Chains A and B, each alone.
Chain A
Amino acid sequence: MSLLRVQDLWVRYRTRRGVVEALSGVSLSVEEGEVLGVVGESGSGKSTLGLAIIRLLPGSAEVRGSVLLNGKDLMSLPEEELRRIRGREVSMVFQDPYSSLNPVMRIGDHFVELMMEHGAAATREEALEIAGELLERLGVPRSRLNDYPHQLSGGQRQRVAIGLALALKPRLVIADEITTALDALVERQIIDLVKEIKREYKTSMLFITHNMGLVAEVADRVAVLYAGRLAELGEVHEVVSNPLHPYTEALLRSVPRIGGSKDLKPIPGEPPDMRNPPPGCRFHPRCPLATDRCRRKEPPLVERGGRLVACHVRG
């Protein structure tokens, strides 16, 4: 049984300017100990996916489909039960570490509150002891427990946010663009840290990013999202070296690589307006291979050589 199974997930947002189709029937799974990369641009639905799984979408979102974590359907759980599960079975790290930090609370108190609420520590002292040990393993000096978030550097704040996500030893961590706001060298430190966590703690992860290179480094498999739909899903090095979906292929070709060609091949056009997505395959207006069928009919997700791809031409 997969640790996480997302089945036919649909999310729409009602906005003043119309209904946004954020996710349209996405299915995927994360296995025990696996890092699944989720790659997409803004508007692809990748962040919506993360928030939908942990049920933190705003009230304006309409959600359909099922999210099974360890066989339990998170979609039908009451809020009270969810609070127990968040942090303990599934937790989330965001791009901005302040999303999980309270600016007027000392770092240590974040851990104390979390652990005592979930019964992971009996006393304040015990919680601080566990937190100190965890932070040290994540490269933050224990003395930082006494500091407030603003006294830490950006990299340390993100390490603390990761520490909070790991504190209750959840089965699944959702990481949403966790290195995007960081400078290059700090980003590298966090990438190295994620790899280490993967090795040491064997935590399963849903690693959401716009950066294909990042996914190639940390993920086992990758799901490529385009305009709210799954374009391709497979073993990461196979996808990177031999992309099947024309979008994946175009995306890889448009990324500059040091030592590689200096002539980039940009994807033509613009991503679709998700209030009014194109019919058929959503990539067809930008696809060099598009046929009449692509313009009319949505391509089903089919298996090809151990990989899933949604394309009339390549499927």
Chain B
Amino acid sequence: MTNAISKALFLLGGALFLSVEDVQGLQAALSIRSKASVVDSRSALLAASVASLPNTNSNSNSTSADNGEIEFPPPLTGFQRTKRAIEFYKRALPVLAAYKAKEVELQFRRSALGENIPDWEENQIWAEMDEWGSTRIAETIQEMKGFYVKTGQVISTRVDLFPEAYTSKLQELQDGLEPMPYELVEKVVRQELLDGAPLSELFATFDKEPLGAASIAQVHKATLLDGRVVAVKLQRPNVEPKLLGDVANLKRISKALAKSLPVDYYTVL
């Protein structure tokens, strides 16, 4: 069980290698964006070609917004990606360490002190650990967003692999997501579909409350001028750079691991 959790956390972090590697190249990463752009030059181009809006992304310290017109933040730089990986590990490693410590403690009590720990007591100890650990991990994922949310969702569906505390806590990520405020929704739709013109040029009505909000997009009900009832799905402006950055991190880790794994999985990608 402990094993399954450490694997999952390891996977979620996906970038310890990256942090080491990128700290060496930190200067380079700071001065040029090209590193991240190589990962997805297409999205860099796209990001550079769209116009801007303030307050979309509170934690993007984008250096490339010098024309002041970028609404959708550009891809994360190597430095930002490293920061994300470090941030995750800073919060996930204590959980891992606590599990390991508990394991060692139990072993010690058994072998050195000759204690006989009954199954029920051990199960209870692990249940408590799971409760505590899953709360911390769910919080971390909630705040970090990006690919971590997606991975968390996948874990939440695998009740066969992970302890119940984890699957149920992560299940909440499935639908308990904070939607974008309506002001932002309106700006995104106007910019993407209307060239900045007001919504009334296209929609007779537009519901302010979303029908649903997920990690990548949310959906609003609306009526077109001709009366057709439609669903408008719109992407969160700050999701793309985080997601692509996390996926890039993940690929790098599997590439780095390729040598130590029996099968070279990176070639499969």
Say whether A and B bind each other.
Answer: no
Interface residues of B (CB under 8 A from A): none
